[in-house]
A and B are shown apart, each in its own frame.
Chain A
Amino acid sequence: MASDKSRLGLILLMAPLAIWLMTLIVLPHVGMFLVSLQEKVGIRQYETSLANYAVFFNEPLYWNTFARTAYMSITATVLTLLIGFPVAYYIAKLTRGRTKTTLFLMCLIPFWVSELVRTFGWMILLRETGVLSSFLQYIGVLAGPVEFLYNDAAIMTGLVYTSMLFMVVPLVTTLDSLDDSLIEAGYDLGGSSFSILREIVIPHAMPGIVSGCIVVFMLSLGNYLTPILLGGKDSLWFTGLIYDQFITRFNWELGSAFGFLLLGLSSLIVFLALKLSGQSLGKTMGR
């Protein structure tokens, strides 16, 4: 009787999560998968086949776009980690109380406005008649206006800026839990700053680094606004291709296939990265 009751309780507790997952995640994906298997053979005529997936592998354009997107996202992830780690270390270990809260809040504040506004902010700064170009001319570094927008560096800047918070937060949390006495012990035993970083700090922070990297990589890969707005005519991005297939080409079949390929290939990249770094998802999330 008692076990029946607790089972009912468990079912009721699980129900909201199960309904959420089923109706908003699983069912749309099943529908999209079925659409991606439809090959258009004529007006309102469809056949079941894998032709849409074949398009991706046969047309180098799409394959190259994915490779470029993945490569840019990995670069953005590495850059975010390199910039975010010292920031997180400073916040977690070298500040206390009010200063700590203030610094943490300052990382958070840019995210109070929408991504669109933040991206437009970068456009105002970087455009030919923008703040940066005007300032450099004013102090005499540049002779004429220079366009900083519409190139890969602008995309990279936008991506790193957009995802900084998602790297800093998990890093601060894991670094917070590192006991200061361990670092002191390291110095007592004659370790240099570098060896302490390598032997004590980074191994302890590894779960934070891995989860931060996964989040930032996925966010960059799935980003649409930043590459399109900051990249201009060279802004080829895989999510942009998917949007084009759905909205301007009315080709939902190919768009769905691309969506699934993005899901599969990005999961594969994360899996490979975990294997290469000797981490596992369970270990990362469990701690």
Chain B
Amino acid sequence: MKSTVLFATGAALALTTFSAQADTLRLLTWGGYAPEDVVAKFEAETGHTVEVTKSNNEEMVAKLRATNGGGFDLAQPSQDRIAGAQAEFGIYKPLDMSKIDTSQFIPSMLTATKGNTMVDGEVYGVPHVWGTSGLVVNTAMAGQVQDYMDLCDPSVAGKVSYRLKRPTLIGFAFSMGMDPFAAYADADAYQAILDKVEAQLIDCKSNVKTYWGGGDEIKNLLRSGEVTASMAWDTGGWQLNDDNADITFVAPKAGALGWIDTFAMPARGRADDAAYAWINFVMQPEIAAMITTAAGNFTASQGGDAGVADALKAKYQASFPQEAIDNIKWYPAVPAGLEALEGATLDRINAAK
């Protein structure tokens, strides 16, 4: 009898230690944020296994909404897309900051992200990778393109591409001399801005070759020369620069749009310990440098840029002189419901001839 009890306790103990040691971390992230060498190192060090699913901001919300925040243990939405989605659908759970090694983060970025992802006094996100979107231009063929509005110039007619998504609306609004971020809280003022941008983008439609959907699509269009001026991410421009020295990222005069992708925990995630372990692991400076090398974007890791190759740093400095960095427009948190207004505007632009 006694031996049975002992055996049962032993088995139970073995089971609990087993599950604490070897969880499966289901990570919902962007391409390049969980490179294979980093995953292998993490698995060897902690015993957890990592399943990576690549996605984008809208899909992350849609996937988590479909399961009420289940199916994944850690997600990486942009910092401005957390508070609204949380208020509307309740798909995340608050972070336990005591389990995160905050000394590894760049303090200003951590504070800003915590503030932007705060709902009812709880923090829902910590920063990971940041970057900007602006213009990717073939300087030999369309060197005159310096701002979002220049994409509508007749000199680049039929050679332009941008996404039909909210960053395009925001970028053009800034370029037209308005401040959409200041109008976030006021639906009527924001609608007025959207109406002006809508008229501009419908007018501009004949200039556009096609609206791009994925990063590979726009790189392909630029590489073949079918498109010479586009609105895209900074890393895309720097990667193309390796193949063709004429193509590079240009910080627009109206300001590049700055985003920070975060770590947020889905409400019904199971492997919380593995998730916290992953956050603390990838924020180490040497691991952060590996991710920067793979993704092309810098991280919020304190000292994480030290181990990055000089070539990437040089491109970053060429695209971003100090005044361009000061001019970056960081996305504030998107209030719930704003995206419905933008959606109707985008539908009308898409339908226009």
Q: Chain A: residues with CB nearer than 8 A to chain B? A: 43-44, 61-62, 64-65, 127-129, 147, 149-150, 228, 232-234, 236, 241, 244-252
**Are B88 and A249 in touch, CB under 8 angstroms?**
no
A244: chain B residues within 8 A (beta carbon): 343, 346-347
Complex interface bits, B70-90 against A, C-beta within 8 A gives 1, otherwise 0 = 000000000000000101111
Most buried by A among B88, B209, B347: B347
Q: Chain B: residues with CB nearer than 8 A to chain A? A: 58-59, 61-62, 65, 85, 87-90, 158, 165, 205, 208-211, 213, 224-226, 336-337, 339-340, 343, 346-348, 350-351, 353
B59: chain A residues within 8 A (beta carbon): 247
Chain B residue with minimal CB distance to A150?
Answer: B210
Known: A61-B348, A129-B224, A129-B225. A250 touches B209 (CB 8 A): no
Most buried by B among A147, A241, A246, A248: A248
State how many angstroms separate the Cβ of B288 from the closest Cβ of chain A: 30
**Are B339 and A250 in touch, CB under 8 angstroms?**
yes
B209: chain A residues within 8 A (beta carbon): 147, 150, 232-233
Known: A43-B88, A150-B210, A251-B340. A236 touches B224 (CB 8 A): no
A128 vs B220: C-alpha distance when bound (angstroms) = 12
A250: chain B residues within 8 A (beta carbon): 58, 61-62, 65, 85, 88-89, 339
A251 vs B338: C-alpha distance when bound (angstroms) = 12
**Are B211 and A232 in touch, CB under 8 angstroms?**
yes
Chain B residue with minimal CB distance to A61?
Answer: B351
Chain A residue with minimal CB distance to B335?
Answer: A43
B58: chain A residues within 8 A (beta carbon): 247-248, 250
**Are B351 and A65 in touch, CB under 8 angstroms?**
yes
State how many angstroms separate the Cβ of A41 from the closest Cβ of chain B: 11
A247 vs B65: C-alpha distance when bound (angstroms) = 10
A232 vs B217: C-alpha distance when bound (angstroms) = 12
B337: chain A residues within 8 A (beta carbon): 43
**Are B211 and A43 in touch, CB under 8 angstroms?**
no
A128: chain B residues within 8 A (beta carbon): 224, 226
A64 vs B293: C-alpha distance when bound (angstroms) = 47
B343: chain A residues within 8 A (beta carbon): 244-245, 248-249, 251
For this complex, 16 residue pairs linking A to B, each with C-beta atoms less than 8 Å apart, are A43-B337, A44-B88, A64-B351, A127-B224, A128-B224, A129-B225, A233-B350, A241-B347, A244-B346, A245-B343, A247-B62, A248-B58, A249-B339, A250-B61, A250-B65, A252-B65
Known: A246-B62, A249-B343. A236 touches B210 (CB 8 A): no
**Are B208 and A233 in touch, CB under 8 angstroms?**
yes
